[in-house]
Copies of this chain bind each other. A is one copy, B any other.
Amino acid sequence: MTIDRRTGIVPTLEMVAARAGVSRATVSRVVNGSPRVAPEMAEIVNAAIAELGYVPNRAARSLASRRTEVIALVIPESTSKVFTDPFFSSIAQGAAYYLSSTEYTLSMVISPESDPDRTRRYLMGGNVDGALIVSHHSGDHSYQNLSLPMVFAGRPLHPETGDNIFYACVDDVAGERSATEYLIGSGRRSIAVIAGPQDMPPGLDRLRGWREAVLSHGLDESLVEYGDFTPLSGTQGMRRLLRRSKKIDAVIAANDQMAVGAYVAIAEAGLRIPDDVAVIGFDDDYYSRAAQPPLTTVNQPSIDLGTAMAEMLVGLIRGEPVERVRVLPTQLKLRGSS
């Protein structure tokens, strides 16, 4: 027998019970894998389920159990405009993958900045069991006071306010430090940086990683210019740097887009990559691979980040012990620009 919406022949738990000659409670137990069912009984019930093609009704189950088995992936509207940003897509992908192996379903919620209460009401209205909150690089944890299991992407901007929040993040400091150290190790001595905005954790942390590395080797730590993560700002930042110093033999940008933007300024100055100036980015997104020469960059495992977040959240919902913070390692991808 097949389920047919039009004719309304959707088998119910009650029909399964009748067919198997047991009570609804028993069928429910079998469906939910309760240990308190005799194996033979379970077999009979399972046969009936298979014959009827029974599928539990989510709404009924949710209403009775007070669990929704839905997890929200909350994306602020402004960042969703750059949802094509591989970073978000990857997180969504990682989360969706992990959740598909659980009983949870991933629901995408675009949170309009104009009406954050809409999202708050949705989250608190018993629609979801928990939420994954992704806000692009901003460290904005404006949802953090809802009493709902939540896991954030990235550390909070102000660590002191985040005493009680759960998040997964990438080790930006270590990533940028090791990239810088790689440059030092390959003989570069005048290493500039095009930093990101200093009001978001990745901007701060990546700059800090560079600074730690140059300082610990006694190199110049003054070669800093700031950009806003766009390619154009990378070009402009690089122009300023080259104007300030002729000796620059390497530059690190806080993301790939700015690094690729820097290519333009380097070419304008008649310099060659990597012979005259080595370039390293951060993110390992499309830009780095499509660049000519391909960009050496710090890979951040964004799919794993999504997986980690989903794992933590499911643990939280199930009441299992969960570490408050999960820091994922980065990896330097050597390509042609360094």
Contact = CB atoms under 8 A, between A and B. Distances in A.
Given A107-B105, A108-B96, A126 B6 contact: no
A125 interface: yes
A59 B56 contact: no
Interface stretch (A175-183, A209-217, A282-290): A282-290
Contacts of A97: 80, 110
Contacts of A55: 121-122, 124-126
A108 B92 CA distance: 9
A100 B93 contact: no
A84 interface: yes
A329 interface: no
A68 interface: yes
A125 B5 CA distance: 9
Interface string A71-90: 00100000010011010111
Contacts of A290: 231, 260, 286-287, 290-291
Contacts of A5: 124, 147-148
B80 A93 contact: yes
Nearest to A125: B55
Contact of A287 (B4, B96, B286): B286
Contact of A80 (B3, B73, B96): B96
Taken together, the copies of this chain in the complex come to 2
Contacts of A73: 108
Interface string A39-67: 00000000000000101111110110000
Contacts of A62: 58-59
A265 to B, nearest CB: 13
A264 to B, nearest CB: 8
Interface in A194-237: 231
A102 interface: no
A145 B162 CA distance: 50
Nearest to A111: B100
A15 interface: no
A126 B59 contact: yes
Contacts of A112: 100
Contacts of A298: none
Nearest to A127: B58
Interface string A320-332: 0000000000000
Nearest to A147: B5
A187 to B, nearest CB: 27
Given A5-B147, A286-B286, A57 B106 contact: no
A167 B200 CA distance: 41
Nearest to A60: B63
A263 B289 CA distance: 14
18 contacts: A4-B147, A55-B125, A55-B126, A56-B125, A58-B68, A58-B125, A59-B59, A59-B68, A63-B63, A70-B107, A80-B96, A84-B89, A89-B89, A96-B108, A97-B110, A100-B110, A106-B108, A285-B286
Given A59-B62, A291-B292, 13 more contacts: A55-B122, A55-B125, A56-B125, A57-B63, A58-B59, A58-B62, A59-B63, A80-B93, A84-B90, A89-B89, A100-B110, A231-B289, A231-B290
